[in-house]
Amino acid sequence: MRTRSRGQRVRDLLLSTDPRRRTLVSMALLALALMVSSACVMLMIAAADSAVDAAAVQWWAAISVGGLAVMTAFIRSGETARLKDPSLTVPQMVWTITSGAVAYVLAGDARGVVPSVLAMILFFGTFGLNVAEVIGIGVYALLAFACAVAATTRFNAGPFGYLDAAYALMVLIVLGGCIALNLRIQRIRRRLREQREALAQALAINRELATRDDLTGLPNRRAMHDMIELERRRSLRSGRPLQLAELDIDHFKHINDTHGHATGDRALQAFAGVVRACVRDTDVLARWGGEEFVLLLSETSAEDARELLERVRLAVAALEMQHPSGPLRVTVSIGLAQHRPGDTVELTLERADQALYTAKSLGRNRIVTAPPGPRAGQGPGAARSARA
């Protein structure tokens, strides 16, 4: 196994090895870095402007950075994973907005730098909020900075002049623009989410169409192959018997030729409904092609399978379909084969096919069980040629 580099070990120690937590910690560290940068700017202002209370700014910087550092450590510990907001986005934004409002009061004549910091805070926090939270944060920011603007004149012991009005107006513009942009981003996110859901639904429908016969609603040949292979492996592990039966509607071509393909389609649907009503929930019926069906009987002995198929045969023979020319009846021929350990699925299906051919040649409307061994010289091509 490849040894991790020192840089990788440091990153794992700082960000965690859990992918989800790494993302949350990375975003929290970005917010912390922005706060540290803002604190540095405020400290520079305090150092350059004697009118600014340097001690108050230092306390502000320590508290502002310390609060976000505590939240970042809490996220890194993993304790927030069970919370509804594991990234603590709302608490972080409330903290930074409050810090920004206080900085606006402390910065004196340099308070014009605060709106840009505020805009950056609101923008980066957008992606973790829903619409209601965006509106709530926006309203809180407006109230916080309204209080800050009101406190500025008293704190600085000076009249409210045009510069104060300009700064207040700039804060209002920044907040309004950020809220509008955030809401626009939320709408885009919602639309993208709806598009993803629609795409997932379309893919699910396509997968269903790829594995289902659209006429009867049964699994199609490809899906049935996969299910039979899965049951074969399960039977091999458990040692329990697995039976495969091929069912073919007798004289189906005559129905199509005499009454039309629409009547033939209704006959296929009625046949599928009758068979599904006779078999167990664990049994799988699939349309194999044309008027031919395959029935998968897992964990079923040959005697039980034959008894079940006899019920199917009698139910099909009793089926009566209404038609303008008079009631139509159909019968079914069935070939049954038990899967043998070591055989392929194709070989078992071929044995069932040969048994079906025998049922057809003996007069139809009957069940024939495949013998234990293969029948030489008799292939599925010959069986299909005898079906009409």
Cite the active site residues.
291
At 246, which helix (H) or strand (E)?
strand 242-249
Distances (CA, A) of 350 to 63, 197, 231, 276, 384: 80, 43, 17, 23, 11
What is the spatial distance between Cα 96 and Cα 141, in angstroms, rounded to a whole number? Answer: 10
- Token pair 């299909």 is found at 384
Give phi and psi for 61, each to the nearest 5.
-65, -45
- Token pair 């009867």 is found at 216
Q: Which two tokens stand for residue 38?
A: 């803002």
What is the spatial distance between Cα 250 and Cα 269, in angstroms, rounded to a whole number? Answer: 15
Residue 113 DSSP one-character state = G
- Token pair 């049954």 is found at 336
Residue 110 DSSP one-character state = G
Taking each helix axis as running N to C, give the angle between helix 114-125 and helix 89-106, from 0 to 180 degrees, rounded to the nearest 10.
180
What is the spatial distance between Cα 180 and Cα 38, in angstroms, rounded to a whole number? Answer: 24
- CB proximity list for 98: less than 8 A, separation 6 or greater: 144
Q: Which two tokens stand for residue 195?
A: 């598009």
